[in-house]
Every structure is written in C-alpha cells, then in structure tokens.
Amino acid sequence: MSAPSFVTVFALYPDLTQLDFTGPHQVLCRIPGATTIIASRMGGEIEAEGGLVIGRTTPLADIERCDLICVPGGMTATQAALDEEFVAHVRRLALGARYVTSVCTGSLILGAAGLLQGKRAACHWAWRSLLTEFGAIPDEGRVVRDGNIFTGGGVTAGIDFAFTMLTEISGEAYAKALTLGLEYAPSPPYGGGRPELADEATLRLVSGNMNKVMPQRLAEAQEAGRRLSRYATSP
C-alpha cells in the first residue's frame, strides 16, 4: 500500500482550547488525498478546555513523520511547553515537516521547541509578548508566515489560518470552493474582537482577567525559554 501523499498531525495536550484545534481541523482534514492524525503525548483521550473529550488520539512517539504539524493553543500552553517529552516530539516532527504551524498560544510551544528563534510569529494578543522568551519576533497579524512557519492569532484566527494553509497546499480554487461549502462568512454581533477595536471598558475588563494569570504564565514561559540552550542551533 502506498503512503499517503500528505500527512497532517495535530499535537494536543490537556486543557487545550478546543476551537484552536477543531476550527483548523474542519478545514485541513479536507486536503485532497491527505491523512489527518490527532496525536498527544500518551495517546488515548485528551480533555480539552470546557470538558470536551477528544478520543482515540495517537501517541506522538508512534508517528514517524508528517508534512504539516499544527499545535493548538490553550490556557495551559506554557505548562505544555515545560513537558519535555511533548516538546521533543513536536520538535522532531517539525524538523522533518514541510509546514510548521500553530494557533493562538500554540506558538509558545513551537518557541519552546526551538523553532521560532529569529522568526516572526502570531499569538493571542494577551500573551503575544511571551514569544520574546523564545527569541521570536511577535507579530500582530492574524495569520503570519515566516518561511515554512505559519502561525495564527487568537482562537478564531485558526480558521483563517487553516484556509491560508489550504490555499498554499491545494490551491486558491479549492480553498474558495470549501469557503463556500462551509459557508464561512463571519459576521459577529460585536466588532470588538481585537484590542484596538474593543471599547475601553471591555478591554479593561478582559485585560484585568488576563493579568491575574500573567505572572504564572510568564514564569512558565521564562523557564521554557531557559531550556532552549539544549538546542545548539535553530532549524
């Protein structure tokens, strides 16, 4: 039996933000002729944020290679960045992949794997500054490309990221057709989904909530950043 022409791997971890994964998955699993593998460090079930259980994930150690690796984000991303076995598998697969990608704070995990040094990368606006702990260049773009690295901003940007990847891999005509097929025509009831668009009171409220957990996330990112010394050179 011939090998699949294109292999996509989603690398999951406990308490990830499910839309960071399920949004891109809805698009990327439709790459013609491709195989999509949902993976985690141990395999089996992974419980995402909000209690959604994702079952039958493949152990990362069982995956030899992939063409595209995608790491979703979550409030536990900086904890996952300290999971040395998980990060080592992300790095191993990424170094052999055509495309290295992430959504939201998944870029912090790519950073912890030594994949973003000197690279521009997107992240959720509240945690974007943490990218500097890994030698990355924070970029405010909703979807950012630097070489073969594609990173999406916060949560819903994962769908835009996925269509960007689909265009890259399968062509504009196919991506346009799937955009229509999925009726992807976002029209939110409120237009304040980015800090520069939000009203002052809303921005103050959300920023205040994020700031409550920033010390822990910063400490975890700094520790993950210190571990980068294990990589003699960046890819």
pLDDT, average across residues 6-11: 98
Q: What is the pLDDT of residues 45-67, one digit of tens each?
A: 999 999 999 999 999 999 999 99
pTM of the predicted protein model: 0.96
Q: How many CA atoms lie within 13 A of 179 on its CB side?
A: 18
What is the rounded distance in angstroms from the CA atom of residue 221 to the CA atom of residue 218? 5
pLDDT in tens, 176-220: 999 999 999 999 999 999 999 999 999 999 999 999 999 999 999
CB atoms under 10 Å from CB of 213, counted, come to: 13
The pLDDT of 68-80, averaged and rounded, is 98
pLDDT band at 234 (very low <50, low <70, confident <90, very high): very low
The model's confidence at residue 83, banded by pLDDT at 50, 70 and 90, is very high
Q: How many CB atoms lie within 10 A of CB 29?
A: 14
* d(C-alpha 84, C-alpha 81), whole Å: 7
Cβ atoms within 10 Å of 2's Cβ, excluding its own: 4
The mean pLDDT value for 25-47 works out to 97
User: Which of the residues are catalytic?
Assistant: 104
Look at residue 15 and tell me whether its pLDDT is greater than 60: yes
Give the ranges where 96-199 is alpha helix by DSSP (H).
106-112, 157-170, 172-181
Over residues 111-132, mean pLDDT: 98
DSSP bridge pairs for 150: 101, 145
Pairing of strands 44-47, 53-59: antiparallel
Quote the pLDDT of residue 66. 98
